[in-house]
Amino acid sequence: MSQTLTVLQSAMNLSNFSNSALLKIELGGPFEANRQSEDYVVVQIRQLEDSGSKRRRQQQILHNWTLPLSLTINEQVIVSKTFEVFNSTDETSISIQAFLQESEIVPLSLTYQYLHADIETQVTIASVILAGVYVLIIFEIVHRTLAAILGSLAALAALATIGDKPSLVKVVAWIDYETLALLFGMMLLVAIFSETGFFDYCAVKAYRLSRGRVWAMIIILCLIAAIFSAFLDNVTTMLLFTPVTIRLCEVLNLDPRHVLIAEVIFTNIGGASTAVGDPPNVIIVSKQEFKKMGLDFAAFTGHMFVGICLVLLVSVPFLRLLYWNKKLYNKEPSEIVELKHEIHVWRLTAQRINPASREETAVKCLLMQKVFTLELLLRKKLKTFQRQISQEDKNWETNIQELQKKHRITDRMLLIKCLAVLGFVILMFFLNSFVPGIHLDLGWIAMLGAIWLLVLANIHDFEMILSRVEWATLLFFAALFILMEALAHLHLIEYIGEQTALLIKVVPEDQRLTVAIILVLWVSALASSLIDNIPFTATMIPVLLNLSQDPEVNLPVKPLIFSLAMGACLGGNGTLIGASANVVCAGIAEQHGYGFSFMEFF
């Protein structure tokens, strides 16, 4: 028999509040989400009814909230939920009861607060903030990093206004430090790797493999990126492929932006094909409910792989139709293009120097003098040079010989060290996905690899290596994590899931499954192109489980889960900030002088 232990009971008077109040409760304890257990906690929101007699007052239960307990877990898990409480002159109480198989002490923590705005108002505020961030990014009013910072500050201000002000400790905890560590570590590895000339060498080899056919080379790069991203993180794939692609396009007088956009699209597609290729897939496969249904790594990958292969078959001809040769090649000769790019890089370097001493002022003046000299040279070349013939009309074998003489490995010893460390890091990435005994996250693996390579390479100019890190991209992700978590606290993501479920319920029964699959797919894709797909996936999973368990709806959950995974992963291709790989690729391209805007990606 289960024993009922009253753990805590407290009361809160809401008599002075408005006609409709929201009560937010945060409960900490050894909870295990989405787990069926005989040990559980029931939270009840009760309200005393005024029956005319002060001695005989009845309690009305407004809400029940059941949380499964895991007595084997020692850590405190914080869960929160918001309830609507109708105001009256009577007091409202929160009652907590634990139902246990054995008599044990269950430590729980409880915090509650009243919110000054209903859910519809909060969703409206969140939508306005999100729209404002996109306006700043689309029209390039400010840099996307500053836009994300302003958006996160506005969301935090909105939370404070409605009475849900988070502490600084909680805001800092919203940042996904594993992702930032992965980015920082891989950026250091790539920065050291670029000193060996390996990226130039790979670019020449890729051109030789395609036998001078540019489109064959682009498709090969995109397919290889898709295969890599199926087993590696999408961000890691683009960190490795972006420098190679830029050097390849430079030596062939191609516009790198179009090729990079094609690569990042195929990277996001490839990441959706396996259970470890994209974070939404990892979240889905890790759920115990789905494992009990037989939806493990092999089953999930088998279903998704077939669908992604069909997507790739459609994407290749569509890509060929979207980018004609006239869009890929630069309109000017390669020598002119390289000179313009060199001027841009020198000017950008000079602008980044904020003179704090006489020596720094002199260095900045020398850099600007170099820019002036190169601009004079450019004017002369523009007067004397005629339009050169396209690279595709030249003999590709002659091009290969010229490129091999110009682009070689510059430091073989450093290359061996880099290949050894990078190979170890990639191997650990694979093992982390398939071997449960490895207790290292991807961020730790990347950081350890970067530190190991810094020691082996004996880097003396450490500041030069740090200058190659995309600090603006790292800051953008930190601000984006805070923004998305704040929007989740404003119930935006939860509202999207609830409205999707309501639309599915009103569809006739004979068409319900088909409409549900299409609706979940497109809602997931559109939402993931605007907001982070990780919290959206985590929010939609309980919604889909409830739909499958509702006797009035009676839908199989597996097709809905596959639709959710497909939409959440492929939706990242919708906008520039829809996926982490998009932002990383744009940041590296901008550092090399080939940045592309939100609308160019769109």
> Tens of pLDDT along 81-119?
888 776 555 566 666 666 666 666 777 787 877 777 888
Cα 409 to Cα 417: distance, rounded to the nearest angstrom: 14
Cα 77 to Cα 71: distance, rounded to the nearest angstrom: 12
Element (H, E) at 98: strand 92-100
Q: What is the DSSP string of 50-71?
A: --S-SS--EEEEEEEEEEEB-T
Instruction: Give the SS3 label for residue 43.
Output: strand
Q: What residues have CB less than 8 Å from 574, skipping those under 6 apart?
A: 525, 526, 528, 529, 530, 602
Would you place residue 598 in the very low, low, confident or very high pLDDT band (cuts 50, 70, 90)? confident
Task: Calculate the CA 456 to chain-centre distance.
Answer: 32
pLDDT digits (tens, 9 = 90+) for 294-330: 777 778 888 888 889 999 998 888 888 877 655 666 6
More confident: 21 or 319: 319
Cα 95 to Cα 8: distance, rounded to the nearest angstrom: 7
Check residue 542 and report its DSSP letter: H
What is residue 217's predicted lDDT score, i.e. its pLDDT?
Answer: 82
> Per the structure block, which two tokens stand in for 155?
């969301």
Number of Cα atoms under 13 Å in the Cβ half of residue 352: 10
Mean pLDDT to the nearest integer, 485-494: 89
Cα 226 to Cα 263: distance, rounded to the nearest angstrom: 8
Closest to 112 (Cα-Cα) out of 49, 43, 59: 43
How large is the C-alpha radius of gyration of the chain? Answer: 28
What is residue 129's predicted lDDT score, i.e. its pLDDT?
Answer: 95
Q: Tell me, what amino acid is at 545?
A: L
What is residue 139's predicted lDDT score, i.e. its pLDDT?
Answer: 85
- Is residue 7 predicted with pLDDT exceeding 70? no
Class of domain 3-115 (CATH, top level): mainly beta
Place of tokens 């937010």: 24
What is residue 159's predicted lDDT score, i.e. its pLDDT?
Answer: 94
Domain ranges of the chain: 3-115, 121-173+475-573, 176-197+410-469, 198-328+392-408, 334-389
pLDDT digits (tens, 9 = 90+) for 383-441: 665 444 444 445 566 667 766 777 678 888 988 999 999 889 888 877 876 776 667 77
Mean pLDDT to the nearest integer, 454-476: 84
Cα 190 to Cα 111: distance, rounded to the nearest angstrom: 46
Cα 530 to Cα 184: distance, rounded to the nearest angstrom: 24
Query: Considering only 11-25, 169-183, 313-327, which range has the smallest mean pLDDT?
Result: 11-25
More confident: 209 or 561: 561
